[in-house]
């Protein structure tokens, strides 16, 4: 069975709206994919401000933004369809939306982007609210990408995504485990913006700085890191907890970036090491995607550190780096449409695996 789907993702780094038109084919239980077209629509300053401030709004204003952002997503999809001549080719849209509130311990997770508005704007069927069902079953609602790693990227036993938040997944015989490691690009971008840059291109600023041991120790002592998995992070961890700690130190921005890059590498190493202790599997391959895969300094340090664990770090082509999450959202949407499990309980800690996603019929009957 062949499915033609647009996957939509907005990450916590606020770099833009990722859109990927993919062909997903299932034959005898085996899945394959092709990313036929993809684009990232950068957010202008107005949208960055709106998304950053969303959690401070009144209930009325939040719902207004939910609908407004859904309209924005729908309009951007229509432009994407026009630009790539996809008229009458798209069967489904799977939209993750932009995470605002995420408190699974309290039974809530919320992503901006009203699926009904997207469906009405595009007149294409939409699957949205991809995390809500897992949280309702007592899970973390994150990470949800491992289903894609199992069905589409099975050559890799370890998959690392370095986006606004870094998360790791591991394939084992009894199922997948995955969890959020630490805040990543969200914090590094905030530091680069202190110098008038959107991000630290290639990690050059970090490479020119020095590691501050006192700050590194303070960061590594944050209580989240001692928690067992399954566990997940809200965007506020980086903005409200990590960044203020960094700012208490009177250091140059380059030194702060260098120290934080070392912190990210150290936490990834700790997480991979913990998995290795339990799995006893050697010579593994680690697939790295997300914007952080373009941070040459960060990846170089990661390769150096993981080499000691006999783990080979693989950085794929730019399309998969940039659009892996949009690709997986497309798959999650298709599985929801097929009424098949698309979130693993072994990953999120839910009472059972679930079929997540709300369906909105935009297509005329």
Please indicate, yes or no, if residue 75 is contained in any of the structural domains. Answer: yes
User: Do both 313 and 346 map to the same domain?
Assistant: no
Domain assignment of residue 172, yes or no: yes
Residues 41 and 72 reside in one and the same domain: yes
Residue 365 lies in a domain: no
| 3-state SS track over the chain | CEEEEEEEEECCCCCCEEEEEEEEEEECCEEEEEEEEEEEECCCHHHHHHHHCHHHCCHHHHHHHHHHHHHHHHHHHHHHHHHCCCCCCCCEEEEEEEEEEEEHHHCEEEEECCHHHHHHHHCCCEEECCCHHHHHCCCCCCCCCHHHHHHHCCCCCEEEEECCEEEEEEEECCEEEEEEEEECHHHHHHHHHCCCCCCCHHHHHHHCCCCCHHHHHHHHCCHHHHCCCCCCCCCHHHHHHHHHHHHCCCCCHHHHHHHHHHHHHHHHHHHHHHHHHHHCCCCEEEEEECHHHHCHHHHHHHHHHHHCCCEEEECCCHHHHHHHHHHHHHHHHHHHHCCCCCECHHHHCCCCCECCCEEECCCCC
pLDDT for the residue numbered 66? 98
Taking the model in full, what pTM does it have?
0.88
| Residue 278 sits in the same domain as residue 160 | yes
Number of domains into which the chain is organized: 2
- Average pLDDT (5-16) is 90
Same domain, 240 and 315: yes
28 and 102 within one domain: yes
Q: Per-residue pLDDT for 280 more than 80?
A: no
Quick one: pLDDT at residue 176? 81
Q: 332 and 259, same structural domain?
A: no
Query: pLDDT > 70: what percent of the chain?
Result: 98
Q: Is the pLDDT of residue 12 over 80?
A: no
Do 175 and 132 share a domain, yes or no?
no
Q: Which pLDDT score, from 0 to 100, does residue 281 have?
A: 64
Residue 193 lies in a domain: yes
> Is residue 314 domain-resident?
yes
Same domain (yes/no): 225, 252: yes
253, part of any domain = yes
Average pLDDT score, the chain: 95
- Residue 275 pLDDT more than 90? no
My answer on whether 163 and 302 are in the same domain is yes
The CATH number linked to 241 is 3.30.420.40
**pLDDT band (50, 70, 90) for residue 174:** low
The boundaries of the domain holding residue 219 are 147-320
Looking only at the bridges linking them, the beta strands covering 17-27 and 92-103 are: unpaired
Give pLDDT tens digits for 284-318: 899 999 999 999 999 999 999 999 988 999 999 99
Residues 86 and 203 in one domain: no
pLDDT at 278: 72
């Amino acid at each position: 069975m062949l499915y033609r789907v647009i996957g939509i993702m907005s990450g916590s780094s606020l770099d833009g709206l990722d859109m990927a038109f993919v062909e997903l084919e299932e034959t005898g239980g085996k899945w394959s994919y092709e990313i036929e077209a993809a684009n990232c629509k950068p957010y202008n300053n107005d949208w960055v401000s709106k998304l950053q401030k969303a959690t401070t709004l009144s209930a009325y204003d939040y719902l207004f933004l939910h609908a407004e952002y859904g309209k924005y997503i729908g309009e951007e999809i229509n432009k994407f369809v026009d630009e790539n001549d996809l008229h009458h080719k798209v069967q489904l849209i799977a939209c993750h939306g932009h995470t605002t509130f995420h408190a699974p311990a309290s039974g809530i997770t919320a992503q901006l982007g009203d699926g009904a508005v997207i469906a009405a704007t595009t007149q294409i069927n939409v699957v949205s609210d991809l995390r809500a069902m897992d949280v309702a079953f007592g899970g973390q609602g994150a990470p949800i990408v491992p289903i894609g790693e199992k069905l589409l990227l099975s050559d890799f036993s370890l998959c690392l995504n370095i986006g606004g938040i870094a998360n790791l997944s591991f394939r084992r015989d009894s199922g997948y485990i995955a969890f959020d490691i630490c805040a990543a690009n969200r914090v590094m971008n905030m530091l680069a913006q202190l110098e008038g840059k959107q991000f630290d291109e290639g990690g050059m600023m970090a490479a020119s700085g020095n590691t501050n041991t006192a700050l590194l120790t303070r960061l590594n002592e944050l209580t989240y890191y001692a928690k067992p998995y399954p566990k997940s992070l809200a965007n506020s961890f980086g903005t409200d907890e990590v960044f203020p700690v960094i700012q208490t130190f009177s250091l140059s921005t380059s030194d702060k970036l260098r120290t934080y890059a070392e912190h990210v590498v150290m936490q990834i190493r700790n997480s991979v090491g913990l998995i290795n202790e339990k799995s006893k599997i050697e010579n593994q391959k680690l697939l790295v995607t997300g914007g952080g895969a373009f941070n040459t300094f960060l990846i170089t340090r990661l390769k150096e550190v993981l080499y000691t664990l006999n783990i080979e770090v693989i950085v794929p082509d730019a399309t998969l780096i940039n659009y892996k999450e949009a690709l997986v959202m497309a798959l999650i949407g298709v599985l929801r449409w097929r009424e098949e499990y698309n979130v693993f309980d072994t990953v999120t800690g839910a009472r059972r695996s679930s079929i997540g996603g709300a369906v909105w019929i935009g297509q005329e009957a």
